[in-house]
Structure 1
Amino acid sequence: MGAQEGAVGRRKDGGIEMVSKLPWQSGVVLGVAGYAAMRYGLGWFMTTFGGPTGQALGTSLADGVYAPVAWLMLIACWLAALISFLDSRRRQHLLAAQTGLRSLSAMDWREFEMLVGEAFRRAGYKVQEIGLGGDDGGVDLILQKDGNTTLVQCKQWRTKLVDVRVVREMYGLLMHHRADAVKIVAIGHYTDDAQRFVHGKPIELISGDALLAMVRECQAATRQPKQV
């Protein structure tokens, strides 16, 4: 189904925010390419193919009229690359710092969502973080993999069991947004009613032990030397 209608949390990002979601190396390359295109490439194109009007505009571009714009583009892309780099380092640190359920419980809710998102990202999913941006409507992450869309809710409850009401709400969101599956991630466990409700439905209940296993698998993969 792929959540084709009523997409969750769809909002327009600004330019810097869009680039900051890319690998930081991409931001560096985009900055250089954008600067070169605005500072030199556009003027050459207009002079060569733009006719009399384009030649006049191309001459002004060649004289550096839009050089400040080119510099702004370069700076914006490199700022986004820095944000991406720092964000990547923070996520790596969150993964490396986890030693058990106690460390999972010690994080604040934003860090917990980031950690869960990073674990799924390293499992091959494309991850969109919804809860970190504000009102989540019950959905914290959207996962994309193999053409399927999965909605994720994170519950960092230290002692309280996740009851069937939460699971029913997520099932309603799955139907409303026409997603393919739901995952609910909690540090603790689920009530018997919640576990009975998911039977035969595309809903996975991930407990703290299962999440910790995912995290440790990511940690082990990070420690393994890369094959040449």
Structure 2
Amino acid sequence: MGRGRTHFFKDLSALPWPLGLAVGVCGYLAIAYGIPLVFARPGSAFAPAFKAGSHPLMPLAWVFLGLCVMAAVASFFRARHKRRLLDTRAGLDSISALGWRDFERLVGEAFRRRGYTVEETGLGGADGGVDLIVRRDGRRTLVQCKQWRREKVPVNVVREMYGLLTHHRADAAHIAALGGFTADAAAFAEGKPIELIDGAALLRMIREVQAQSAVALTRLPSVESVASRDIAHDPAAPNCPTCEAVMVRRSNRRTADTFWGCSTFPVCRGTR
């Protein structure tokens, strides 16, 4: 695959898969029928070639459609991989087990579930930089992901991010780091549009979006809640033995037995 075609495929696969398919269909119709309609006009030197049942551009139309279909398939599976990355995280150990690339995808998916549009810049790499650009409500935020498990992010990294924030004229910057930040780094970020997200804060963000996704899924016909849907209203609710999330009281519709179920079901199926 040539360099130009590679970039084209990469750009297409970065789009939502339905949009990629739509581009393919529109492009196919334009090449297969739109262009021939122009060249087949009376008096055109190309009219004889394009009046035939199979004109010279048909192979190009099929190639374009095929590339778009492959890009849409790649986009579909990439999006599913990101959803599973987030849905299967049960604690800091499961987050720290990810590679740096999947860690970036996890952070991006967490922002996406919170209503942001997410652009993966590819400018960061394993050592950091601007890994993501997230947008919401007209604000543009730069995100750097540091999957340092045993090291705290020093102040010079935060200074560099502040410089990137100014250079790109963004509204804010976030740095997500599993190992946390040094005291100097936290002091430098104070009062600036820089949010430091340590491992505990990232886990809270992930559990929040997991719980939001579970709210709609808990309406399955086999299980229903017999208590308030707001788990904060039940002070007796225990923590899940599997993921430590707050549990909610549920009942089995077949046997009428009540039990405690994890609030993140079906992501976690812990019960008491």
TM-score by length of 2: 0.71
Cα distance in 2 for residues equivalent to 1:191 and 1:106: 23
| Residue 132 of structure 1, CA deviation | 6.9
Structure 2 equivalent of residue 3 of structure 1: none
Structure 2 equivalent of residue 40 of structure 1: 33
Say yes or no: does 1:15 pair with 2:8: yes
Say yes or no: does 1:129 pair with 2:120: yes
Please give the residue correspondences for 1:56-205 in structure 2 after superposition, counting only pairs within 5 Å.
56=47, 59-60=50-51, 63-131=54-122, 134=125, 138-205=129-196
| Residue 87 of structure 1, CA deviation | 0.2
What letter matches 1:176 in structure 2?
H
5+ residue gaps, structure 2, are 1-5, 220-272
| Length, aligned pairs only | 213
Whether the 8 Å CA contact 1:100–1:212 is kept in 2: the answer is yes
Higher helix share: 1
Of 26, 29, 38, the residue aligned with 2:22 is 29
Whether the 8 Å CA contact 1:120–1:127 is kept in 2: the answer is yes
What letter matches 1:123 in structure 2?
R
| Residue 174 of structure 1, CA deviation | 1.2
| Residue 21 of structure 1, CA deviation | 1.2
RMSD: 2.5
Q: What's the CA shift string for 1:42-61, capped at 9, x where partnerless?
A: 222443xx562277277357
Structure 1 residues 133 and 151: alpha-carbon distance in aligned structure 2, compared to 1, 3 A threshold: closer
Whether the 8 Å CA contact 1:130–1:136 is kept in 2: the answer is no
Work out which structure has the larger RCO, using CA pairs closer than 8 Å and 6 or more positions apart in sequence. 1
Structure 2 equivalent of residue 8 of structure 1: none
| Residue 213 of structure 1, CA deviation | 1.4
Cα distance in 1 for residues equivalent to 2:52 and 2:195: 57
**Which protein is bigger by CA-based radius of gyration?**
2
Deviates most, 113-122 or 173-182: 173-182
Say yes or no: does 1:222 pair with 2:222: no
What letter matches 2:37 in structure 1?
W
Whether the 8 Å CA contact 2:175–2:196 is kept in 1: the answer is yes
What letter matches 1:165 in structure 2?
N
Structure 1 residues 210 and 34: alpha-carbon distance in aligned structure 2, compared to 1, 3 A threshold: same
Whether the 8 Å CA contact 1:23–1:84 is kept in 2: the answer is yes
What letter matches 1:193 in structure 2?
D
Q: What's the CA shift string for 1:9-47, capped at 9, x where partnerless?
A: xxxx82211211111122222222222221123222443
Q: State the identity as a percent.
A: 51
What letter matches 1:148 in structure 2?
R
What letter matches 1:138 in structure 2?
G
Secondary structure of 2:207's counterpart equals helix
Q: What's the CA shift string for 1:37-94, capped at 9, x where partnerless?
A: 21123222443xx562277277357542211001101100001001101101110110
Whether the 8 Å CA contact 1:20–1:83 is kept in 2: the answer is yes
Cα distance in 2 for residues equivalent to 1:59 and 1:198: 65
Cα distance in 2 for residues equivalent to 1:61 and 1:55: 11
After the TM superposition, list the runs of 4 or more consecutive aligned residues in structure 1 that deviate by more than 6 angstroms: none
Secondary structure of 1:225's counterpart equals helix
